[in-house]
Amino acid sequence: MSQENQFSFQTKIKDILSEYPDAETCWIAYSGGLDSLVLLHVLASIQDKIKQKLLAVHINHGLSSDADLWVKHCQDKCADYAIELQTFSIDLSHKSDKGTEAFAREKRYEVLGNLMSSHDLLLTAHHMDDQVETILLQLMRGSGPDGLVGMPQARAFSKGILLRPLLDYSREEIHDYVLAESLSWIEDESNKSNKYDRNFLRNRIIPELLTRWPGALKTVQRAAKHQAEARCLINEISRSDLEVVCESDYRKLDISGFNNLSAIRKKNVLRAWIKQNQLETPNASIIEKIITEVIHANIDRNPCVKWKGGEIRRYREYLYIMESLPAHDVEMSNPWNLEETLELTSGYLKAISGKGNGIKKAMLSSDTVEIRYRQGGEQMKLSGRRETHDLKKLFQEHGVPPWTRGRMPLIYYENKLIAVADLWLESKYAASESEAAWQINWEWRDDQ
């Protein structure tokens, strides 16, 4: 490697860091391997030319018999470079359906994220070869543009920004830097095992590609940039469609407006709607299921499609999106002192002392009532109505979604249903405008 190329690493990283003047700390993810060593060495060589404080982090996964030796190696290197090192051990003994590699990555980033303060930078040593591996893995999973754009050089993470300053350098260029600087690094023996998909691509597939097409790394990286442009266009279309089908409430989607879209735009707006609500995007088969089993269901049905962390339900002419509803026991009951806020599994009940528009205080001999949940067959007589109504009919009449009905608190006094959350009052217990009353306020939890 020429002196000019070595200098390019320092210049590149210094220029990237200069774009973040508010950042006070750079956290360096340092495994001790070749790639992170180069990142550490470059940062050490420019630390007097940047404003950010450098802190290195080593995560001990405990998967190798040499893990403790790696910790010692990293400590020695950081001491040589006058960079403070923090080490952490993570427990991977718990079973996970994600696989060891993915679970380790999740736990690693959890530790790193917890270290960061506002505007902090987390620097990782991902490079061009890693980018190609990522894109090929996404391709093998059948990903669309969101997956095929690969890893961005910068993205929001925790309270700050995750940066990949080596993304424009190949593994060969990084290896040349190490040789030119006579640096020593750790070789993780697991990198040789092709049982991991990424290692299989790294050790078997990509070398073959480069033999046939020497410029394959940059070609794939260029293709990823084309995918990024396509994704931008797709996102513009989805934002426009969302404004039509959601209006001002992104928690529900108008089916009539949705059905005016083409088949491709329907799938696109569903994915955008799910992302808008900060839920994990389901696979293509779930998206298809939402269209065929939920949207196209008969009007008298209330279908639901669930996936990890989320669900979509239909009621009348709308789709509703939410986190997976937690378990709820409709058999439970709770005493409620009206002078205190009551926290329930589905939300919060509060009673405010006032005049009218609430439970008539004169009808209660104490300030304690009982909270129950719908069992079926409950009835109420509302003020201004001559008949007694089934609660089921009232829910239908007022368009209360079915999945919320069993979670809505029913207020009982002396075994008599006197109120349904803050929706309705039994006429006998309803205060007039001049009468002292407990005014009921019901607030759903965010996950309901």
Q: All domains of the chain, ordered by start, with CATH? A: 1-213 (3.40.50.620), 246-322 (1.20.59.20), 334-444 (no CATH)
pLDDT, position 100: 73
Identify the weakest region by mean pLDDT among 22-31, 84-93, 266-275, 404-413. 84-93
Condensed to tens digits (0 to 9), the pLDDT of residues 201-248 reads 999 999 999 999 999 999 999 999 999 999 999 999 999 999 999 988
Instruction: Estimate to the nearest angstrom the gap between the alpha carbon of 377 and the chain centroid.
Output: 40
Q: Is the pLDDT of residue 4 over 70?
A: no
User: What residues pair up with 441 in beta bridges, in sequence order?
Assistant: 350
HSE-CB for 298 with a 13 A CA cutoff: 2
pLDDT tier at 5 (50, 70, 90 boundaries)? Answer: low
Residue with tokens 């992302």: 275
What's the pTM? 0.76
pLDDT, position 3: 55
Residue with tokens 């090929």: 136
121-123 and 25-29: which strand pairing? parallel
Q: Is the pLDDT of residue 2 over 60?
A: no
pLDDT, position 319: 95
Which parts of 182-326 are beta strand (E)?
A: 252-254, 304-307, 310-315, 318-323
pLDDT, position 67: 83
Contacts of 161 (CB under 8 A, 6+ apart): 20, 23, 119, 120, 121, 122, 154, 155
**Within a 10 A sphere around the Cβ of 84, how many other Cβ atoms?**
11
User: Phi and psi for 241 in degrees, rounded to 5?
Assistant: -70, -35
Mean pLDDT of 81-96: 85
Contacts of 407 (CB under 8 A, 6+ apart): 325, 328, 345, 346, 347, 373, 448
Mean pLDDT of 285-301: 88
Condensed to tens digits (0 to 9), the pLDDT of residues 39-78 reads 999 999 999 999 999 999 999 987 777 888 999 999 999 9
pLDDT, position 299: 73
pLDDT, position 331: 92
pLDDT, position 98: 65
Contacts of 97 (CB under 8 A, 6+ apart): none
Average model confidence (pLDDT) across the chain: 92
pLDDT tier at 187 (50, 70, 90 boundaries)? Answer: confident
State what percent of residues in the chain have pLDDT above 70.
97
pLDDT, position 73: 94
Specify the length of the chain in residues. Answer: 448
pLDDT tier at 103 (50, 70, 90 boundaries)? Answer: confident
Measured CA to CA, the distance from residue 324 to residue 224 in angstroms comes to: 34
Measured CA to CA, the distance from residue 151 to residue 260 in angstroms comes to: 35
pLDDT tier at 185 (50, 70, 90 boundaries)? Answer: very high
pLDDT tier at 326 (50, 70, 90 boundaries)? Answer: confident
